[in-house]
Structure 1
Amino acid sequence: MPKPGIPLQAALIPDCTEPEAHRAAYRTAKANNAIFVCIARHGQRWKVQLDVMASRKPYVPDQAMAILQSAAEALVLDGTVEQANIGADYISMWPIETEERAREIAAAFHAAMYGLQLLHIAAPSQLEPSPRPGGGR
């Protein structure tokens, strides 16, 4: 297992098709203060999921999430995925044709989320997010 806090390579993205595998991977991410990422079979195809809330570090700011939103929209436009949900702390995309492609996409978005999170930690005043409901970030 890579050092916590480091983006995962495509081959190391967990397959969380089974609910217990999903729970175990999320617990591991939370215990390691890491951004959660996984792939899962979605019918005959695959789904990618990422969740920043597993990490206790600052959320990725809304302005930075716009970059991820744009990348997800490009995947929809080129037909790689049919649907993409991007929120302040969550990304999911599906269906993806192959497991290999799902792993590539998951690894790329995981690395981008880490990079944007680290940039926010280094320069918070430059990428300050809008206030979150309930006072959290």
Structure 2
Amino acid sequence: MSTLGTPLPAALIPDCTEPEAHHAAYRSAKANDAIFVCITRHGQHWNVELDAMSSSGPTISDEAVAFLRSAVEALVLADTVAQANIAPDYISMRAIESEQRAREIAAAFHAALHGLRQLCIAVPRQC
């Protein structure tokens, strides 16, 4: 069974503020068949980006996307995230107050997306 990489802990989420770092981290995720995740600094705030298209795993179900969307909406309602976009293979969140909080959010969503895709591999009919 494919493992689709490994979820990263907050401390290992790459800072891809510089374009070269972003390109290198994406290439590494693609080479390792892993879900891409990073944080970037924009002014005084931080952003989170996840991209599952860097790996060959299945697209998660609409129900799973709805679950992730509700988590993102909760962060927006709590003013933790100012703006967010979510699709079955891509999540971005903008204007997070601190690097540490951005890392925590990135790690949590990376683990969730990774787990949902692993579940789709293990139980394909549900996905």
Task: Give the TM-score, by structure 1 length.
Answer: 0.88
Q: What is the aligned length?
A: 125
Q: Unaligned regions of 5+ residues in structure 1, if any?
A: 128-137
2:7 equivalent in structure 1: 7
Q: Unaligned regions of 5+ residues in structure 2, if any?
A: none
1:95 equivalent in structure 2: 95
Write the distance in 2 (CA, Å) between the matches of 1:4 and 1:125: 19
Write the distance in 1 (CA, Å) between the matches of 2:58 and 2:125: 13
Query: CA shift at 1:10, angstroms?
Result: 0.1
Instruction: Write the letter of the residue equivalent to 1:81.
Output: V
1:27 equivalent in structure 2: 27
Q: Spell out the pairing of 1:112-123 with structure 2 (5 A cutoff).
A: 112-123=112-123
- Aligned pair 1:60/2:56, yes or no? no
Write the distance in 1 (CA, Å) between the matches of 2:74 and 2:83: 11
Query: CA shift at 1:61, angstroms?
Result: 2.1
Moved over 2 A (4+): none
The root-mean-square deviation of aligned C-alpha atoms, in Å, is: 1.2
Instruction: Write the letter of the residue equivalent to 2:116.
Output: L
Q: Deviations over 1:7-50 (max 9, x none)?
A: 00000000000000000000000000000000000121000000
Task: Give the TM-score, by structure 2 length.
Answer: 0.95
Write the distance in 2 (CA, Å) between the matches of 1:60 and 1:54: 14
Which structure ranks higher in relative contact order (CA pairs < 8 Å, sequence separation ≥ 6)?
2
Q: Deviations over 1:59-108 (max 9, x none)?
A: 22222111110000000001101111001210000100000000000000
Instruction: Write the letter of the residue equivalent to 1:78.
Output: A
